Structure 1
Amino acid sequence: MKKIVTILGARPQFVKAAVLSRVISKHKGIEEIIIHTGQHYDANMSDIFFNEMDIPKPKYNLAINGLSHGAMTGQMLIKIEEVLLNEKPDLVVVYGDTNSTLAGALAAKKMDIKVAHVEAGLRSFNMKMPEEVNRILTDRISDLLLCPTDTAVENLQNEGFENIPCKIKKSGDIMKDAVEYYSKVSGEKSSIINNLNLQKDAFVLATIHRQENTDDLENLKSIFQGLEAISKVKQVILPLHPRTKAILEKNKLFYNLKIINPVGYFDMLELLKNCNLVITDSGGLQKEAFFNKKHCIIAREETEWVELVSNGFAKIVGSDSQKMVDSFKGFQNSTVDFSINLYGNNVGEKMYDEIFKLL
């Protein structure tokens, strides 16, 4: 039996891996070993996802977190290499654009182990984003580039990837599979709507965690001022990332918002199903909003998911509080049709087929 190693470190990766791991388990043609780098490490950001979503428990937990980008990536590279030497896999699967992604791909490639990159080809074209650096470098050394959209494929073609020995495949977005599968049970598994005494369409769901927002105090203040202005019309529910929380507390910034701890996937799905719209600087949540037929206000200067903006499902406002409020008002009367299929179907199965062919 062929063996693959899956490398995970952050919440969105746990969600995506749940889909592919379930498909791998069903087919029984591949042995999967999971490495958790520890990048997201507390119970609310990590453990709850493995427990809720029946993701196979990681065989290795490297517990690497709380370091600078260079130190974190370097430590991960060292530790992942040790595991790969021990396990001798035929292929390594990495997801997305985190330090865990880059470290996993680098460790594998330096040992002449094949690499499959899930969510290949995405570009923000903002090289100040650590995530952009990670995804570009990971794409360049991967053997199988599993792209979620036509735009992602075109990005790789424009960068000359057709002249590089790799396979480019439009597989669709694996997050869609996750939302469709787990939405069927989230209502039974989660009580967050009742616990917070929320009514359908009566609140806005917000998340803020990107470095370009949290590390720029003026940006952060402006974003939260926008959220507070919107909260006078509709309650704003904000599952707060630990880093964002620490920066707000350090600078004694307090806002009239309903701030809660980070939530598990089932709770997040129920919040998405019942909210009025989403305000976020997360990449994954933009699509999860779309899958749940919710508009999204993007608190960044760009997005990798350009089709959401071009089709009228999302608007980019950066850290501009007035643009945020104006977009919120504009979306209240929107009649955009969410039935368009932007991200494919049966994505996990398609990815499994491509990975199996490479082994």
Structure 2
Amino acid sequence: MIEKLITDHRSQITKLKIMTVVGTRPEIIRLSATIKRLDKYTHQIFVHTGQNYDYELNEIFFEDLGLRKPDHFMNVDTSSLGIAIGDIIKKTEELINLEKPDALLVLGDTNSCLSAYMAKRKHIPIFHMEAGNRSFDFNVPEEVNRRIIDHIADFNLVYTEHARRHLIAEGLQHRRIYLTGSPMFEVLQQNMEKIQNSDVLQRLNEQITNHQLPVTNHQSPITNHEYFLVSVHREENVDIPENLQKILTILNTLAETYNLPVIVSTHPRTRKRIEMLGKDKKQKEKDKSIKAEGLSNKPEETLNFEHGTLNFEPETLNPLIHFLKPFGFTDYVHLQMNALCTISDSGTISEESAILNFPAISLRQSMERPEAQDTGSIILTGFEPDVVLNAIATVIEEYKEKVKSNKSEVKSNKSEVKRNKSEVISQKLEVESQETSSFSLNPSAFPPPFALILNPSALNDTSALILNPSAFIPAFPQEYFIPNTSWRVLKLILGNTKLSNKWWGVNK
């Protein structure tokens, strides 16, 4: 009866109209739980800065996360940086005039977040998730964006106390800053069943069997904990040829040192830059030959990038290195959880490796998440091969030590349960909680900090994993383990949107 009254009452209320703007896969992933929450409790206008054509190509990505199709596509012209930014601002104004939203929500530091500028000029309250992150490195393009957006946002929703302190140090008011925690815990929690059930390794091995991937005698099949996973896409990493060449050298050294497959989830930007690197080397060799022989110059043919092979050699690439198209969210997380080590320049690698507890390093020269380094949950390496190889060996060894320690604890727990069987039966719920508090993630792993509960009769069966946010959290950034970020964001928007302009004295 009460639920019906609430439902009837809610149907008569004019909901807040919230415009949520996204433009990249990472934004969509991190916002996915919040988007679904806002769809239920507000009138959400879901905007994508790309093209409808892009959506059709990536529709499975949205379905993977349980997200609906965006309401508007800006079709932003990306032919140059200036044109792209100008187009985002211009088309944001058009949509604001059309939809008349009560508030704007953006996450992160990509160019799509610069839609906040027009919202500010139109006196539309801005809620900025992932605010306050600082790398203090202006070689990182996002560092410029995030500082601009933080200072024009009405409400900065930070992941950590580190981020809050950055904003306060820059003179922002306390009441403009709220801690919501990282949304990744909630996103992973909602998608864990799909992640566990991913058959991505089986599909990769089928491609090897069908000769769709290059293979050596000692490399098939690809199995759990016997491969490396790599994702490198950041502008400051792949747009500088010297850095890209160093990264390729690292991949080669990795394959040669461990004699294991290196699976590279290849971002379009990275693919393009690798092709350009190969073209550049070929062209230099060709120019040298032309000069020596006195021949006329001819345009270079377009290079292909198919099925993990490159038809150029910026250096001799080891056949164990597979350059593959970008994976979907659930497939990629599954690969991370089962890799010997993940090497990534992703902004969320520190969160994902801490939450899911897999070995990883950050292949970057600066980081905007100092809490991850404070707690030792990630190593920032740069591009020197020796440093990277040492870091990888270190996190793998650390992981093995924790596995060994955990197995001892599991054995001890099971012995204790057996000795106190009568007490276990009389206090079933309590014993079940104790018995399942520290079981392995897989046959050679230990429990992630968010404490996956595993059926004690199936220690090696990952299908029994269940998230338990209330369980014990070890020494990792605790703001990474907040289970209700989407509720926090929703409540802040519902409560503060109408008050915002009054606080600032804006007449609207």
Q: TM-score, normalised by structure 1?
A: 0.93
Q: Which residue of 1 aligns with 2:201?
A: 193
3-state SS of 2:269 partner? helix
1:304-354 deviation line (CA, Å, top 9, x unaligned): 111222222211111212211111111121146844334222111111111
3-state SS of 2:228 partner? strand
Amino acid of the structure 1 residue aligned with 2:193: K
The offset of 1:285, in angstroms, is 2.9
Q: 2:328 aligns with which of 247, 251, 264?
A: 264
Q: Which moved more, 1:337-346 or 1:11-20?
A: 337-346
Separation (CA, whole Å) in 1 of partners of 2:150 and 2:53: 26
Separation (CA, whole Å) in 1 of partners of 2:131 and 2:242: 32
The offset of 1:65, in angstroms, is 5.0
The count of corresponding residues between Structure 1 and Structure 2 is 353
Q: Which residue of 1 aligns with 2:272?
A: 246
Pair 59,39 (structure 1): closer, same or farther in 2 beyond 3 Å: closer
Amino acid of the structure 2 residue aligned with 1:352: L
Separation (CA, whole Å) in 1 of partners of 2:273 and 2:193: 36
1:290 paired with 2:354, answer yes
1:30-69 deviation line (CA, Å, top 9, x unaligned): 1001110018974698433212212121111112253332
Q: 1:208 aligns with which of 210, 214, 232?
A: 232
2:77/2:83 contact within 8 Å kept: no
Q: Which residue of 1 aligns with 2:17?
A: 3
Q: Which moved more, 1:265-274 or 1:252-261?
A: 252-261
3-state SS of 1:329 partner? helix
Q: Which residue of 2 aligns with 1:31?
A: 43
Amino acid of the structure 1 residue aligned with 2:353: A
1:96/1:117 contact within 8 Å kept: yes
1:152-183 deviation line (CA, Å, top 9, x unaligned): 011111111127xx520011001221112111
Q: Which residue of 2 aligns with 1:167?
A: 176
Pair 65,225 (structure 1): closer, same or farther in 2 beyond 3 Å: farther
Q: Which residue of 2 aligns with 1:323?
A: 387
Separation (CA, whole Å) in 1 of partners of 2:72 and 2:79: 19
Map 1:63-212 → 2, pairs under 5 A: 63-64=75-76, 66-102=78-114, 104-162=115-173, 167-188=176-197, 190-197=198-205, 198-212=222-236
1:48 paired with 2:60, answer yes
2:128/2:157 contact within 8 Å kept: yes
Pair 122,25 (structure 1): closer, same or farther in 2 beyond 3 Å: same
3-state SS of 1:72 partner? helix
3-state SS of 1:184 partner? helix
Separation (CA, whole Å) in 1 of partners of 2:364 and 2:387: 12
Amino acid of the structure 2 residue aligned with 1:143: D
Pair 281,311 (structure 1): closer, same or farther in 2 beyond 3 Å: same
2:77/2:87 contact within 8 Å kept: no
1:41/1:47 contact within 8 Å kept: no
Q: Which residue of 1 aligns with 2:217?
A: none
Task: List alignment gaps of at least 5 residues for structure 2.
Answer: 1-14, 206-221, 279-313, 403-447, 450-472, 498-508
Amino acid of the structure 1 residue aligned with 2:368: E
Amino acid of the structure 2 residue aligned with 1:31: H
Pair 247,213 (structure 1): closer, same or farther in 2 beyond 3 Å: same
Separation (CA, whole Å) in 1 of partners of 2:193 and 2:479: 21
Amino acid of the structure 2 residue aligned with 1:196: L
Q: Which residue of 2 aligns with 1:12?
A: 26
Amino acid of the structure 2 residue aligned with 1:130: P
Separation (CA, whole Å) in 1 of partners of 2:357 and 2:38: 29
Pair 40,148 (structure 1): closer, same or farther in 2 beyond 3 Å: farther
**Larger strand fraction of residues:** 1
1:281 paired with 2:345, answer yes
Q: 1:353 aligns with which of 484, 491, 501?
A: 491
1:236 paired with 2:262, answer yes
Separation (CA, whole Å) in 2 of partners of 1:46 and 1:251: 28
% identical aligned pairs: 30
Q: Which moved more, 1:196-205 or 1:44-53?
A: 44-53
The offset of 1:194, in angstroms, is 1.0
Amino acid of the structure 2 residue aligned with 1:320: E
RMSD: 2.0
Pair 40,194 (structure 1): closer, same or farther in 2 beyond 3 Å: farther
Separation (CA, whole Å) in 1 of partners of 2:78 and 2:202: 34
Q: 1:224 aligns with which of 243, 248, 254?
A: 248
Higher relative contact order (CA 8 A, sep 6+): 1
Separation (CA, whole Å) in 2 of partners of 1:48 and 1:93: 24
Task: List alignment gaps of at least 5 residues for structure 1.
Answer: none
1:216-250 deviation line (CA, Å, top 9, x unaligned): 11111111211221123132111101111111112
The offset of 1:17, in angstroms, is 2.0
3-state SS of 2:36 partner? helix
1:10/1:40 contact within 8 Å kept: no
Separation (CA, whole Å) in 2 of partners of 1:43 and 1:276: 33
Separation (CA, whole Å) in 2 of partners of 1:224 and 1:47: 31
Amino acid of the structure 2 residue aligned with 1:281: D
1:310 paired with 2:374, answer yes
